[in-house]
Chain A
């Protein structure tokens, strides 16, 4: 085909899609954008879909949430119920509760959308939690991704509060109890507590304002911030390119996988429908937040087994197991029994959020890291993460102490005492155990590299001894098992100089050296096999 022909075709009858693209390119510059991104490479690993679960459940929450706003009345005016749910007819309730009843019983499909919305919220939070653990345990938070780690962390925290304000909106007995709990916690703040409470509720609890206020926070303020953070999070994922695990052909300077168009687009796009489909099916068969069985909120009524949504469980645990300390001095009350849990609540979350910066300071490593660590190869980090998770779950046990007591026929007093002690002890035990396990797995990797893998074949030697035949690993496997980096502990040298005069060492330097020793000393990592060791062993044939 000659050049003339091509131009003629282009000018005359370019396909409609191309003409639209041309139009857009002339105004938006889409071709330059597509040049780098259309065939962008995404590595494949099952754990990389966890973040996608979060993204998709967030989209599902927005879609269903917009639908719910069409029917929900964020008002606390008391009305009498006349809907189609007979047991509540004639009862006084807020318009918020009334309209939620209307959505659940009189709007066709309304209940389904409500349940999808709530289930997706639970999955969104759980997804973020697990996704964050994936990033943590593989060291994906290291430079250059620290800012994105913080974006993700903020999304988790904001997600918790969006969830809380959301499930408080129907103004049912259970959620009202949760709001009352929040008010009690706010009252415990020294000096300004009563003022904060009056300003938040427009007067005394419950007043007539909080549903409308929570509504604007729940549907506008928090999701607006979250949407911004989410877009930033995704832009950074694109910009940094995805991390990958070590393996043949995968280096810190490349990214190996499938192109966005078509493979990743089909897989990720299809995954959205899978997530949505599964959540819709769950909403069809598993009832969630059946407000009609709880009834409208009354500050003087409550039901047993009151539980917040799962992601608030650890804060519930803090408040349940704390001894009821109160200090009365000079006409004032310091409500430590509630205020201390209120302070620890954010600190639990901050402990994991700042970890990347602590580790970066200890290692002093300023290089970019795009190859993921296997958790075993970073024993101290893995142990810290596991300790944190155990801390979180101990608190969740505390948050459900009544359910543990009734379901497992335990004494609620013993559970409470277990959590009080476990709050301090369990993370330490888990830290030590996890570190040992990591070192054990590192030793195993080392053995595998040096002695090959167990083949399962038992051989009898001429003199009668039985041995198991070990097969040498392929070069792929050898490379993968030895690709990780190992730091040397930081040495600050002798505390005195050559003349015996004490050197001036800052406290921070000493601390850093100690931490570095704890991270990378002989007891904290098994040195990976060297080429010399490997050659020495493999050259001496006949050994095993």
Chain B
């Protein structure tokens, strides 16, 4: 794929060929009206010719630097004087933290004024005569290249790497193998997956505990149209693995009219129209939390996957790939809702071993 096979005449002519005197203002070329006329003559700014204007610029720069000093003093004063929990009303932002507001504005002003001063100084008082610098090609000259190649050949020859094949091969072998130690060391970053993603805390007889009240749920507590979140009994916020367990066991409980349930298995696994589904979206694992009670749809606020809870929680819109797993529930002797086993399929996002 070299470019050598492109004929030279297809490439445009070099830029600026024959214009070696940079910056020289040439007279208009009669033969070529498009020729480079060279750098235009320098135009004086008002500060270059009028000392009073230059002094004005000087005062502006000095004023900006002074503003910066004052702003820094203001920063220190704000830091010391303003209590850290004081709120003020600033139109149109609203109520904001007074200290943050004061520190930010004074710091911003102190910095901005330095910048504005420096730029104004450069633009009005420093020379604005354009200067041209030569460029030199990056590529080395053929002589330099030849010298380098010779040196390399000499060095390679002296190393005898090409001649002593045994050394070469064993060295490559050693270099290729030693990074494996580093790879091995990564093994203990985490456990092997095993069947961890298939199991949750739910098991036969575990009560459904209301997430908000922390009390076991009775069937009578769940009214038609409501949405209740539940966790397995025994899982407490202070538990060390609470976050990891709730990430799999969180439940969403709704009550439907049993005649509205279209899916046969869903009806079997429900109790008097109360159904329990995993709250974790089967797309990438966000908790589903928007329930439309008229249509029995739930929506994941992250990526808008929508599931129909009256029809086995199958996906009716969005990027999720399969229905939400349902937990089989019943009622114990005391009237509390209980699980009748673990989920029959893994909850949450799909993965290779899910099957």
Q: Which residues of A are in contact with B by a Cβ distance under 8 Å? A: 39-41, 78, 84, 92, 105-106, 108-109, 111-112, 115-116, 144, 177, 180-181, 183-185, 187-195, 197-209, 239-241, 246, 248-249, 251-259, 262-263, 266-267, 269-287, 297-306, 319-326, 328, 331-335, 337-338, 360-361, 363-368, 370-371, 401-402, 412-413, 416, 449, 475-476, 478-479, 482-483, 485-491, 508-509, 531, 534-535, 538
For A204, list chain B residues within 8 Å (CB): 196-197, 244, 247-248
Contact status A302-B289, CB under 8 Å: yes
Q: How far is the CB of B231 from chain A (nearest CB, A)?
A: 8
For A112, list chain B residues within 8 Å (CB): 100, 103-104, 107
Q: Complex formed: what's the CA distance from A243 to B243 in Å? A: 54
Q: How far is the CB of A177 from chain B (nearest CB, A)?
A: 6
Which single member of B100, B130, B244 contacts A206 (CB below 8 Å)?
A: B244
- The residue in chain B whose Cβ has the minimal distance to the Cβ of A535 is B33
Contact status A201-B34, CB under 8 Å: no
Q: Complex formed: what's the CA distance from A535 to B39 in Å? A: 24
Contact status A195-B135, CB under 8 Å: no
Contact status A193-B351, CB under 8 Å: yes
For B74, list chain A residues within 8 Å (CB): none
Contact status A241-B15, CB under 8 Å: no
Residue among B16, B85, B97, B280 facing the most chain A CB atoms (10 A cut-off): B16
Contact status A485-B12, CB under 8 Å: yes
Q: Complex formed: what's the CA distance from A112 to B32 in Å? A: 61
Q: Complex formed: what's the CA distance from A532 to B35 in Å? A: 13
| Contacts A112-B103, A262-B126, A270-B118 given; does A276 touch B111 at CB 8 Å | yes
Contact status A270-B117, CB under 8 Å: yes
Q: Complex formed: what's the CA distance from A116 to B36 in Å? A: 47
Q: How far is the CB of A257 from chain B (nearest CB, A)?
A: 6
Q: Complex formed: what's the CA distance from A307 to B108 in Å? A: 28
- The residue in chain B whose Cβ has the minimal distance to the Cβ of A320 is B303
Residue among B37, B90, B121, B317 facing the most chain A CB atoms (10 A cut-off): B37
For B348, list chain A residues within 8 Å (CB): 184
Q: Complex formed: what's the CA distance from A538 to B28 in Å? A: 15
Contact status A256-B11, CB under 8 Å: no
A-B interface, 4 closest residue pairs, ranked by CB to CB distance from nearest: A284-B104, A184-B284, A270-B118, A251-B16
Within residues 245 to 276 of chain B, which ones have a CB less than 8 A from any CB in chain A? 246-248, 250
For the complex, count residues of B whose C-beta is within 8 A of A.
118
Contact status A203-B191, CB under 8 Å: yes
Contact status A248-B37, CB under 8 Å: yes
Q: How far is the CB of A213 from chain B (nearest CB, A)?
A: 8
Contact status B10-A364, CB under 8 Å: yes
Contact status A305-B301, CB under 8 Å: yes
Q: Complex formed: what's the CA distance from A184 to B284 in Å? A: 4
* CB of B149 closer than 8 Å to a CB of A: no
Q: Complex formed: what's the CA distance from A256 to B35 in Å? A: 18
Contact status B128-A263, CB under 8 Å: yes
- The residue in chain B whose Cβ has the minimal distance to the Cβ of A509 is B5
* CB of B52 closer than 8 Å to a CB of A: no
* CB of B295 closer than 8 Å to a CB of A: no
Contact status A248-B39, CB under 8 Å: yes
Interface string of B73-110 (1 = CB under 8 A from A): 00000010000110000100100110111111101111
For A278, list chain B residues within 8 Å (CB): 108, 112
For A538, list chain B residues within 8 Å (CB): 33
Q: Complex formed: what's the CA distance from A195 to B191 in Å? A: 8
Q: Complex formed: what's the CA distance from A84 to B87 in Å? A: 13
Q: How far is the CB of B57 from chain A (nearest CB, A)?
A: 13
Contact status A270-B322, CB under 8 Å: no
- The residue in chain A whose Cβ has the minimal distance to the Cβ of B320 is A324
Contact status A301-B287, CB under 8 Å: yes
For B280, list chain A residues within 8 Å (CB): 299-300
Q: Complex formed: what's the CA distance from A302 to B23 in Å? A: 65
| Contacts A205-B247, A251-B16 given; does A273 touch B112 at CB 8 Å | yes
Q: Complex formed: what's the CA distance from A378 to B110 in Å? A: 44
Residue among A248, A287, A297, A489 facing the most chain B CB atoms (10 A cut-off): A248
For A324, list chain B residues within 8 Å (CB): 283, 305, 315, 318-322
